[in-house]
Amino acid sequence: MSAQAELPRRSKYCGEFREEHVGQECCVMGWVHSYRDHGGIIFIDLRDRTGLVQIVADPSNDPDAHAKAERVRSEWVVAAVGRVRPRSEETINPKLDTGQVEIITDRIEILTEAETPPFPVDAAEEMDESLRLKWRFIDLRRPQMLERLRKRHEVVLSARNYLSEQGFWEIETPMLINSSPEGARDFLVPSRMAPGHFYALPQSPQLLKQTLMASGVDRYFQMARCLRDEDLRADRQPEHTQIDIEMSFATQEQVLETVEGLIRHIYQEAKGIELPEPFPRMTYAEAMLTYGSDKPDLRFGLEIQEVTDVVAKSDFRVFTETIDKGGRVRAINVKGGAKFSRSQLDNLQPKARELGGKGAAYIIYEPDGTWRSPLLKYFPEEVLEELRETLGGEPGDLFVFGADDAKALAPFLGRLRLHLAELAGLPGETDAVKPLWVVDFPVFEQDEETGNWQPMHHAFTMPRPDCLDTMEDDPGAVIGQLYDLVVNGAELGSGSIRIHDPAIQQRVFKIVGIDEEEADRKFSYLLRAFRYGAPPHGGIALGIDRLIMQLVGAKSIREVIAFPKTATGADLLMDAPGPVDEAQLEELHIRVVE
């Protein structure tokens, strides 16, 4: 508008004014956060992404500015020209960074009038999430949300600078590719120029970054957009962003060292936290056995311990019959768990079934050294004592048991461990950051329904050298050069050393049921690159959304994405997905079947 064009340039953001600016002429622009009329003098809190500053419109100073101020309402966009002055001692606001000063205005321009928003900006946190997502542009005006977007920008910039200094090049890869099996359903894009044929949106740039390694790029990274048509959770969206990294002539050790350096740099820059060097490591088998998860939270103990041989000496049939069938019994010692309420203990059994187990039993070692449990009649004193020694029990501890076949028992106890940690208030209010490398994953896993072998991660993982000779004989025993980065129980990244030998790649394809014709149809460009000389290479993809979620302490990645989808994949702001015109479908040779 013409009035806006005549304004002087904005001199500072609202949140930047301090005592040293007293006496300066200034121009500020922003949204009206609040409006107060105190006996004819109008006070406006003006807001932008940096914070608030108080604007004073005094009719004795400038009647025209005061008249304009009388008109403004919440969320109107205005510009104010004036002079910075100190606040009187009794009006200083210690809660604001700008609380020592205010701007006495001699000119106000209304840049945009606004309708009354569906909820006050400072009350958005209490609103239903679906309402917040529908009105995301209002929700994002909140300082907390803007701070998260700022933090995201700084982390991405920090990662870009660090990787560039390490000799990596940032290279974009296509968003329209061919469909390939990578563990989730593809989003498909019909081709108008090739009727009946489809592009796929990339689940990751996996094959393309391997092709770049065969092209001599040597070190690549990308802030890659990845799209997967899969069921959603608090830490999963149909589209997400990852720091995609690949490097040539690198061993697993070199990849881990490079990524550790990046993560240490990010945490130091973003939070001033010094992470350990090197990060602890644990094999997949150890993680599943001890924590029941391939992404264990190490901020607290509650390790899962084997007690099969001990409880086999009891008369509790649930345990003994499970053992007779080849199953296992394992337990978790909850330190201080004797203080759990009766209702919490009674709820263990239904909660265990909810978590996918057959049940959970408990024995309490009371603070006075006595025992309490519905199972006591089945456990001789000497067996209880052996349990105490095995589990490291102390007065006041709670022993919680699970029994099942080994494969089902591990993940169930992993979920139960997290539930017990929540009951015990662990890890509580803490800024502890516990990174971990989980390594030595199996390359293959067996489909329970068909019995067919399939990749645990993807079909391009290089097996460990000691597994190559016997790969076809026992696929389940093949360990890969695979690694996941875990921080506080969240998987932040997953990677591997890749196969670069066409003969090994064909062997892996054959094990997972991909014949030469299918391989050539889906991966022809990568296999062709391998045949013309590909270097050993490996890399990782780090989830930016999950990383930011960890850094800012959010409970959902929707809180750190500007325009996220709901749990059903809907974009409430843009009302997507939605129908399209019949003419568009005809042009694409598509017919909707109801």
Nearest to 518 by CA among 179, 51, 89: 179
Residue 1: band (very low, low, confident or very high) from pLDDT cuts 50, 70, 90: very low
Give the N- to C-terminal CA distance of the chain in Å, as an integer: 49
How confident is the model over 266-294, as pLDDT tens digits? Answer: 999 999 999 999 999 999 999 999 999 99
Give the fold, CATH level 3, of 151-231+238-278+435-560: BirA Bifunctional Protein; domain 2 (3.30.930)
- Which value, to the nearest 10 degrees, does the dihedral of the CA atoms of residues 324, 328, 329, 334 take? 180
Tokens read off for 215: 């092209």
| Residue with the two structure tokens 């589990």 | 391
**How many other C-beta atoms are found inside a 10 Å radius of the C-beta of residue 461?**
23
Tokens read off for 133: 């997502």
Sheet-wide strand order for 361-365: 304-306, 328-334, 397-404, 361-365, 371-372
Contact predicate 501/530, CB 8 Å:
yes
Q: Assign domain 300-423 to a CATH class.
A: alpha beta
How confident is the model over 408-419, as pLDDT tens digits? Answer: 999 999 999 999
How confident is the model over 179-218, as pLDDT tens digits? Answer: 876 667 899 999 999 999 999 999 999 999 999 999 999 9
Q: Where in the chain is the domain with CATH 2.40.50.140?
A: 2-112
For residue 411, say if its preceding peptide bond is cis, omega within 30 degrees of 0: no
- Mean pLDDT (the chain, rounded): 94
**What pLDDT sits at residue 33?**
96
**What pLDDT sits at residue 114?**
97
For residue 86, say if its preceding peptide bond is cis, omega within 30 degrees of 0: no
What is the rounded CA–CA span in Å between residue 471 and residue 99? 69
Contact predicate 100/92, CB 8 Å:
yes
Mean pLDDT of 80-101: 96
Contact predicate 111/77, CB 8 Å:
yes
What is the rounded CA–CA span in Å between residue 384 and residue 380? 6
**What pLDDT sits at residue 3?**
45
Longest dimension (CA), the chain: 93
Nearest to 31 by CA among 141, 108, 123: 141
What is the rounded CA–CA span in Å between residue 44 and residue 42? 7
Tokens read off for 292: 């029941």
What is the rounded CA–CA span in Å between residue 251 and residue 481? 9
| Residue with the two structure tokens 């456990």 | 379
What is the rounded CA–CA span in Å between residue 348 and residue 402? 11
CATH of domain 2-112: 2.40.50.140
SS (H, E, C) 287-343: HHHHHCCCCCCCCCCCCEEECHHHHCCCCCHHHHHHHHCCCEEEEEEECCHHHCCHH
Nearest to 156 by CA among 563, 561, 569: 561
How confident is the model over 324-375, as pLDDT tens digits? Answer: 999 999 999 999 999 999 999 999 999 999 999 999 999 999 999 999 999 9
Residue 2: band (very low, low, confident or very high) from pLDDT cuts 50, 70, 90: very low
Predicted TM-score (pTM) of the model is 0.92
**What pLDDT sits at residue 182?**
60
What is the rounded CA–CA span in Å between residue 585 and residue 530? 39
What is the rounded CA–CA span in Å between residue 363 and residue 466? 44
As a 3-state breakdown, the chain gives helix, strand, coil percent values, each rounded to 5, of 35, 25, 40
- At 49, which helix (H) or strand (E)? none
For the ranges 228-232, 385-389, 457-461, the lowest mean pLDDT is seen at: 228-232
Mean pLDDT of 393-411: 97
Residue 234: band (very low, low, confident or very high) from pLDDT cuts 50, 70, 90: low
- At 530, which helix (H) or strand (E)? helix 516-531
**How many other C-beta atoms are found inside a 10 Å radius of the C-beta of residue 278?**
13
Most confident of 47-56, 449-458, 580-589: 47-56
How confident is the model over 498-531, as pLDDT tens digits? Answer: 999 999 999 999 999 999 998 988 888 999 999 9
Residue 146: band (very low, low, confident or very high) from pLDDT cuts 50, 70, 90: very high
Amino acid in position 58: D
Across 162-300, the runs of DSSP E, i.e. the strands, are 169-170, 188-190, 198-200, 219-227, 239-248, 281-283
What is the rounded CA–CA span in Å between residue 303 and residue 487? 17
Q: How many CA atoms lie within 13 A of 229 on its CB side?
A: 10
Q: Where in the chain is the domain with CATH 3.30.930.10?
A: 151-231+238-278+435-560
**What pLDDT sits at residue 4?**
47
